[in-house]
């Protein structure tokens, strides 16, 4: 059964960005997931269809009113239940939530459905959050103008985990082993671009050597750029195989730096 996303948003058109384009567009056409939007504007009761009001206590900006959101969420829940979904899960995208990471994406990709609540303005009436929200999730420690982009990031990352969404690219990167490390560097033609060549191993046709080099680059770059990820993946230290690859990477790094110094003093590759 397809994964069901129900999104509560004042700007439903924004979601075309994922439903119409790229990997997520194709997954949508292949019915790997369904995305329904619910506009709180359609649940507003007054003549002007107001969904926001001034904050109690004063201060700048406007606050999203509880009632239109409450009814939109209730209708979304009813739709999901009618689709045969046993449990609903309402997620509010906000900087106050737990930060989204790979583990969280894997966990969410196991659900049958979710309801994503997108805030605008200064935020949402706290009573609605207390009543209806099961979980708050954040993209990171910064503020964006609304929850829509955050919801789309979450949906995109979850869809990539669905069987069939990535086609033949699926296997390698989905390997849990690889998923916690940074990607190895990629190259395509030409083999010489502005004097910069492609690593010889990639042209060798030796798949075992290529595989080993890529794994080494993944570990090495993670050590260089995101050592925190290595500690998270291997709290007790690197296994023997990985340790060997990393030590060799460090030595190759030194050689490369020394070679660069030699080139510079000899005026190789120096343009004045
Ligand atoms: N950071 N992670 C984020 C965000 C916008 C006003 C409350 C974030 O997820 N969402 O900055 N959201 C605000 C906009 C209402 C959410």
Residues 92-132 pLDDT 10s: 999 999 999 999 999 999 999 999 999 999 999 999 999 99
Mind listing the pLDDT tens digit for each residue in 181-226? Answer: 999 999 999 999 999 999 999 999 999 999 999 999 999 999 999 9
Q: Is 144 annotated as a binding residue?
A: yes
Distance 184 CA to ligand 1 centre (A): 32
User: In the annotation, is 95 catalytic?
Assistant: yes
CA torsion 79-129-155-105 (nearest 10°) is -120
Kindly list the strands in the beta sheet with 90-99, ordered across the sheet, starting from the edge strand earlier in the chain: 33-38, 3-8, 113-117, 90-99, 135-138
Exactly one of 70, 75, 112, 122 is catalytic; name it. 122
Q: Cα 92 to chain center, whole Å?
A: 16
How do the domains of the chain map onto residue ranges?
A: 3-170, 174-267
Residue-level pLDDT at 272: 39
Q: Which of 133, 144, 145, 149 to mutate to test the pocket of ligand 1 (most atoms within 8 A of CB)?
A: 144
Model confidence, pTM:
0.95
Ligand 1 pocket, Cβ-based, cut-off 6 angstroms = 93-95, 119-120, 123, 138-140, 142-144, 146-147, 150
* Residue 108 in marked binding region: no
Residue from 112, 128, 153, 149 nearest 40 by CA? 128
**Alpha helices, DSSP H, located in the chain:** 16-19, 22-29, 66-82, 102-108, 126-132, 147-159, 170-174, 176-179, 207-225, 227-233, 240-265
Considering the segment(s) 3-170 as one domain, its CATH architecture is 3-Layer(aba) Sandwich (3.40)
Rg, the chain, Cα only: 24
Confidence of residue 43 (pLDDT cuts 50, 70, 90): very high
Q: What is the maximum span of the chain, computed from C-alpha positions, in angstroms?
A: 78
Q: Is 36 exposed, middle or buried (0-12, 13-18, 19+ CB in 10 A)?
A: middle
Structural contact between residues 113 and 79, judged by C-beta atoms closer than 8 angstroms? no
What is the pLDDT at residue 144?
98
Per-residue pLDDT tens for 64-78?
Answer: 999 999 999 999 999
Fold of 174-267: 1.10.1270
Residue 143 among known ligand-binding residues: yes
């Amino acid at each position: 059964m397809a994964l069901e996303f129900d999104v509560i948003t004042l700007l439903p058109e924004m979601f075309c960005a994922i439903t119409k384009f790229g990997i997520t567009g194709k997954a949508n056409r292949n019915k790997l997931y369904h995305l329904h939007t619910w506009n709180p504007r359609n649940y507003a009761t007054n003549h002007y269809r107001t969904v926001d009001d001034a904050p109690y206590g004063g201060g700048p900006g406007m606050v999203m009113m509880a009632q239109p959101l409450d009814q939109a969420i209730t209708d979304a829940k009813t739709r999901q239940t009618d689709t045969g979904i046993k449990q609903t899960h309402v997620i509010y995208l906000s900087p106050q939530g737990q930060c989204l990471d790979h583990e969280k994406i894997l966990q969410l990709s196991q659900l049958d459905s979710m309801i994503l609540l997108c805030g605008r303005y200064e935020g949402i009436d706290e009573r609605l959050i207390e009543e209806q929200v099961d979980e708050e999730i954040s993209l990171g420690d910064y503020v964006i103008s609304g929850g829509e982009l955050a919801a789309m990031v979450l949906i995109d990352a979850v869809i990539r985990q669905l069987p069939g969404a990535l086609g033949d690219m699926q296997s390698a990167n989905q390997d849990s082993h690889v998923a916690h490390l940074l990607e190895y560097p990629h190259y395509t033609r030409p083999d010489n671009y502005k004097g910069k060549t492609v690593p010889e191993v990639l042209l060798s046709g030796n798949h075992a050597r290529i595989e080993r080099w890529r794994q080494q680059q993944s570990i090495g770059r993670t050590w260089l750029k995101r050592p925190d990820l290595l500690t998270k993946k291997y709290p007790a230290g690197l296994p023997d195989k990985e340790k060997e690859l990393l030590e060799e990477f460090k030595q190759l790094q030194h050689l490369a730096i020394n070679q660069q110094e030699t080139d510079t003093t000899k005026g190789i590759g120096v343009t004045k």
